[in-house]
Amino acid sequence: MKVLYFAWLRERLDRSEDEVAPPAEVETVTDLVDWLAQRDEVLAAALEKRSIFKFAVDARIVPPQTPLAGADSVAILPPMTAG
């Protein structure tokens, strides 16, 4: 599964994506983000204010409690500034 990073989160991590294979108990987007944060201090620090982020599974914005079942990609999205 791919994890995608954008904007200042991408810059802070110095990469735009990770290829990961989380264990079976990582069931939801929230579980995945927790699991990623445990393995990466920089990510953990960047995600400190977790509530400001949105998440997308396979290019659709979803609530954090969404199950990962079968997902190819999960994106972690800092607050957007379109328009």
| Alpha-carbon distances, residue 75 vs 20, 55 (angstroms) | 13, 6
Binding of another protein by 26 (CB under 8 A): no
Binding of another protein by 45 (CB under 8 A): no
Given candidates 1, 2, 6, 37, which one binds another protein under the rule CB under 8 A?
A: 6
Residues 22 and 14: their CA atoms lie apart, in Å, by 21
Which residue type occupies 32? L
Q: What does the per-residue mask of binding to another protein show for 47-76, with x meaning CB under 8 A?
A: ---------x--xxx-------------x-
Residues 77 and 7: their CA atoms lie apart, in Å, by 8
Contacts with another protein by CB under 8 A lie at 4, 6-8, 10, 56, 59-61, 75, 77-83
